[in-house]
């Protein structure tokens, strides 16, 4: 497996760190672009990338602005459109490098919202969408809190009021939790109100627009996820407009299903779905997405 890293200029010139994992020999079957979750970084998906590369896929990932090795105010945006714009630039680089390959988008947690927002705008240019721990229903958030937080954010958007994510909820594998807590690239500070409102707004938008989806969609969720609740997966099942929507809840698993003791089972499910859709394209080339003008 070959690993390469680099940077590109994101929205408003913010430097965005990116990396890719490629097969040592032969052309990849397709490309998977990974959008990581809140407070973390793309390096935490190296084992996911290795699993996919071993099975013939090229994998690209970026550190979202304000995360990991990318520039920008730490874990802070005014609107998720900033994340989506950077992902679009990454996507364009991938498509230039692999013009003839199918491209799948894989988003986890906060990254699931970024991926959904991207797909809702450019789904005709993607072969498929995968989300895990989809952040449509957030643990600990009550309806009455939202208008109060919105009002406070107008007054003090940088107010670091919300505690860091509870690391114990990411995985039942204590080694994963320990590595997360001590990872210098993982943000362990409190969430700012402005960021919280941007997250809630993106979550609401995605939930309301699920019916617009038409592309193949795989949604995976841990049945015991305390951070993004499994009710979000049920919402996808009920509202997705794509006839090719698969929702699977892994009973007993926590938030990062790809980092649970059952990770092999989870990743095998991802590859099974990817393989099926790549093989469908090989049998029916007319189903391949056609590049469209940006807009």
**pTM of model > 0.95:** no
At 92-124, the pLDDT tens digits run: 999 999 999 999 999 999 999 999 999 999 999
Quick one: pLDDT at residue 219?
98
Classify each residue of 251-265 as buried b or exposed e, where b means 16 or more C-beta atoms within 10 Å of its C-beta. eebbbbbbbbebbee
Whole-number Å distance between alpha carbons of 152 and 158: 10
Whole-number Å distance between alpha carbons of 75 and 21: 25
Closest by Cα among 280, 281, 272 to 246: 272
Return the CA Rg of the chain. 18
Q: 275: which residues sit within 8 A by CB, 6+ positions away? A: 55
Q: What's the mean pLDDT when you consider all of the chain?
A: 91
Instruction: List, by residue number, the catalytic residues.
Output: 109, 225, 255
Give 161's pLDDT tier (boundaries 50, 70, 90). low
Residue 258 token pair: 């790809």
At 194-208, the pLDDT tens digits run: 888 899 999 999 999
Distance of CA 222 to the CA centre of its chain: 15
Quick one: pLDDT at residue 16?
98
Lowest mean pLDDT of 125-139, 190-204, 249-263, 279-293, name the range.
Answer: 279-293
Q: Domains of the chain, with CATH numbers? A: 2-287 (3.40.50.1820)
Classify each residue of 91-106 as buried b or exposed e, where b means 16 or more C-beta atoms within 10 Å of its C-beta. bebbeeebeebbbbbb
List, in sequence order, every beta strand (DSSP E) within 170-238: 191-192, 217-222
Q: 272: which residues sit within 8 A by CB, 6+ positions away? A: none
Quick one: pLDDT at residue 164?
83
Q: Is the pLDDT of residue 46 over 50?
A: yes
Quick one: pLDDT at residue 144?
39
262 in Cβ contact with 175 (< 8 Å): no
């Amino acid at each position: 497996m070959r690993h390469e890293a680099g940077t590109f200029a994101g929205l408003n010139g913010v430097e965005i760190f990116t990396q890719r994992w490629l097969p040592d020999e032969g052309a990849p079957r397709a490309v998977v672009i990974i959008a990581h979750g809140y407070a973390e970084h793309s390096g935490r998906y190296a084992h996911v990338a290795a699993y996919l590369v071993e099975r013939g896929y090229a994998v690209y990932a970026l550190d979202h602005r304000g995360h990991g090795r990318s520039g920008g105010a730490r874990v802070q945006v005014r609107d998720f459109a900033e994340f989506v714009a950077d992902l679009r630039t990454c996507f364009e680089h991938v498509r230039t490098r692999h013009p003839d390959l199918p491209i799948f988008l894989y988003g986890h947690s906060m990254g699931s919202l970024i991926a959904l927002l991207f797909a809702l705008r450019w789904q005709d240019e993607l072969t498929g969408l995968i989300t895990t721990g989809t952040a449509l229903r957030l643990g600990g958030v009550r309806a009455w809190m939202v208008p109060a937080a919105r009002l406070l954010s107008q007054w003090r958007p940088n107010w670091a009021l919300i505690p860091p994510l509870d690391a114990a909820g990411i995985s039942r594998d204590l080694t994963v939790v320990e590595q997360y807590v001590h990872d210098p690239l993982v943000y362990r500070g409190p969430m700012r109100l402005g960021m919280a409102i941007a997250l809630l707004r993106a979550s609401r938008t995605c939930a309301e627009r699920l019916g617009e989806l038409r592309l193949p969609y795989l949604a995976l969720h841990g049945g015991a996820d305390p951070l993004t609740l499994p009710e979000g997966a049920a919402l996808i099942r009920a509202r997705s407009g794509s006839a090719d929507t698969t929702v699977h809840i892994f009973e007993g698993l926590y938030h990062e299903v790809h980092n649970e003791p059952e990770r092999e089972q989870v990743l095998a499910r991802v590859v099974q779905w990817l393989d099926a859709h790549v093989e469908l394209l090989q049998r029916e080339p007319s189903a391949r997405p056609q590049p469209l003008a940006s807009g």
